[in-house]
Chains A and B, each alone.
Chain A
Amino acid sequence: MTATLTGPTAPAPARPARRRRPRPRTLLGRSLVHLLLLGAALTVLFPVYYVFAGAFMRPDEIASYPPALVPHSLTGRNFSGAVHAVPLARQYANSVLVAGAVTAAQLLTSVLAAYAFVFLPVRARRVVFGAFLATLMVPWEAVVVPNYLTLSGWGLGNTYFGLVLPFLASAFGTFLLRQSFRQFPAELRDAARIDGAGHWRFLWRILVPLSRPTLAALAVYVFLSAWNQYFWPLIITRTAEMQTLQIGLSTLRDSEMADPGLILAGVVLSLLPTLALVLFGQRFLVRGLTTGAVR
């Protein structure tokens, strides 16, 4: 089974450096390929363009019929408007806090569990590990009702704890790190032991530093998943102050339906971190996302 799963431990799936690609032979072929790609690019990129263009348009511009495609004068009013319409700054902070806490906690719990599976004697290892993997098959939506009941029963509705608690560990992270740890050279492990390093020291001083690429990929994947969450924060929070950015955007859309520029400005603000990741961290992003390809 393991052979079917790819991850950061597998050879990087990024495009090979010097693959020879075919070149269309005829001028007609070349133009056709160009034309098709250009059409596809325009279609795919138009929403991206329009978010930024619309965010700078005046209300009369964006609402004109037929709507303008290029802003005539760059106005910043949409941004201040969006920040005032919903507590966007607070929700931004909530999202950073929640996604950050979930990422840190999942890395920690996954590192520990994976270490136990690979380097420590776990009774009934196969059964326990199989049970871990089985949890991966359960769609979150199938357990959302009882989880809501549990956390509101504990009085954690509309709190940060309620937002993060169900996501502090994941079988996926454990599985991924186990794959990576298993490939750790046995000689290095033995050398560390001969030098007197116990489990704790070996884990934090040698194994974790040497597993940085896998950990980084996992971190990107977990952070993005947590950042993008919608269903859970929607039901577990009640007040705007406790909501995350994604819910805030949806509220902004509902309350400012008549002012699309304002909505788009909110979207632009919400995009900044992930856009930076796409533009400057594509290597990590590709690894992180193909990490998710296992699911």
Chain B
Amino acid sequence: MPTAPPPAARPRRLGEHGLAWAFLLPSVVVLVLFVAYPLGRTLYLSAHANDLFGAPSRYVGWKHYADLLASAEFRDTLLTTALFVLFTVVPGVLGALALVLLLENRIRGVRLLRSAFALPFAFSVASASVVFSVFYNPASGVLNGLLSRLHLGPVGWLTDSRYALLSVAAATVWMNLGYNVLVLSAGIGSIPDEITEAARLDGASGLRLARSVTVPLLGPSLFFLVVVSTVNALQSFGQIHVLTRGGPDGATRTLVYSVYQKAFAYGSSDFGTASAQAVVLLVVVLACTALQFGVLERKVHYA
């Protein structure tokens, strides 16, 4: 990779240092004010009690965390979060993998289909969620309408706590599918033709080719996708807010949604508890990111 000459090779004028800082300043100010400082303040708030209006009142140390550990509600929240990750990442990645492998076949209309699978990109989280809320409507929704044609009873997609999390997850899988297909398509595109060609000359085709050649070589892309999808699932907010508001009875209250509820919903300003939960979220996301960098680092040495 060609790189710019090292700065030492250039005539260095006094003004260059000043210019460098002038150029960095806008970014540094924004990142310090809205990432670094609030990160510290989240930690600070999580160790302080607050009054009804959210102003920190006194130092309480680990109390918020201890309360969380002892709280059945918070354990539910963690479980819901884990289930939501499971229900979105597994079908999202496997579904995209199946689609990408099918799209690898040279058959008529495959180009058109490729473009078609990109259409959900046009939907934001909010618009996709609003559309699914119309589908899930127990009385007028299309889903129960189709079920009734099969003489199956109406399902409370979002109102029955057995189905609500699955319904939100299904909407999430739909809105992410296009992106997942894109990432895996790019991965398949980077597999050298010679390898596939050689395997085919050896008589591999169809499922055998996919199982023994394509999928193993997609490993890095798949891993990347799993990590990104997991982090995305952990941060999902819009679909829960639009579809269920964390309900029914907390069945779709994930970690992020719980932070929102404690801090902002229904006039609640429990910033202390919200911040402690935000720190838990931070740790979980950091662990996922660290995993990604750790494993990818190894992959680079290996390659």
Contacts and interface: CB of A to CB of B under 8 A. Distances in A.
Contacts of B122: 48, 271, 274-275, 277-278
Contacts of B231: 139
Contacts of B131: 47, 50-51, 264, 267
Interface in B185-214: 185-186, 189-190, 193, 196-197, 200, 205-206, 209
Contacts of B70: none
A252 B23 CA distance: 43
B202 to A, nearest CB: 13
B126 A250 contact: yes
Interface string A221-236: 0000001101100110
B218 to A, nearest CB: 13
Contacts of B148: 65-66
Interface residues of A, number: 113
Interface stretch (B60-68, B72-80, B84-92, B100-108): B100-108
Interface string A122-154: 110000100010010111111111111110000
A117 to B, nearest CB: 8
Contacts of B259: 141, 144-145
Contacts of A20: 106, 193, 197
A260 B142 CA distance: 11
Contacts of B31: 132, 135, 169, 171
A36 B97 CA distance: 13
Given A21-B105, A271-B123, A112 B224 contact: no
A45 B141 contact: no
Given A138-B39, A186-B4, A54 B20 contact: no
A186 B3 CA distance: 7
Nearest to B255: A141
A137 B45 contact: no
Given A41-B116, A54-B134, A250 B241 contact: yes
A30 interface: yes
Nearest to A190: B5
A175 to B, nearest CB: 11
Contacts of B139: 63, 65
A278 B140 contact: no
A190 B209 CA distance: 50
A9 B115 CA distance: 24
A277 B27 CA distance: 29
A16 B104 CA distance: 12
Contacts of A266: 130
B271 A145 contact: yes
Interface string B8-36: 00001000110111011011111101111
Contacts of B275: 145-146
Most chain-B Cβ atoms within 10 A of its Cβ — which of A1, A22, A165? A22
B121 A278 contact: yes
A290 interface: yes
B273 to A, nearest CB: 10
B134 to A, nearest CB: 5
Interface string B245-260: 0000000000010011
Nearest to A59: B140
B4 A118 contact: yes
Nearest to B200: A22
Contact of B119 (A4, A48, A166, A231): A48
Interface of A: 1, 3-4, 6, 13-16, 19-25, 29-30, 33-34, 36-37, 40-41, 44-45, 47-48, 50-51, 54, 62-63, 65-67, 69, 108-110, 112-113, 115-123, 128, 132, 135, 137-150, 165-166, 168-169, 171, 174, 181-186, 189-190, 199, 227-228, 230-231, 234-235, 246-247, 249-250, 252-253, 257, 260, 263-264, 266-267, 270-271, 274-275, 277-278, 282, 285-286, 289-290, 293, 295
6 contacts: A22-B200, A50-B135, A139-B285, A168-B30, A171-B27, A295-B228
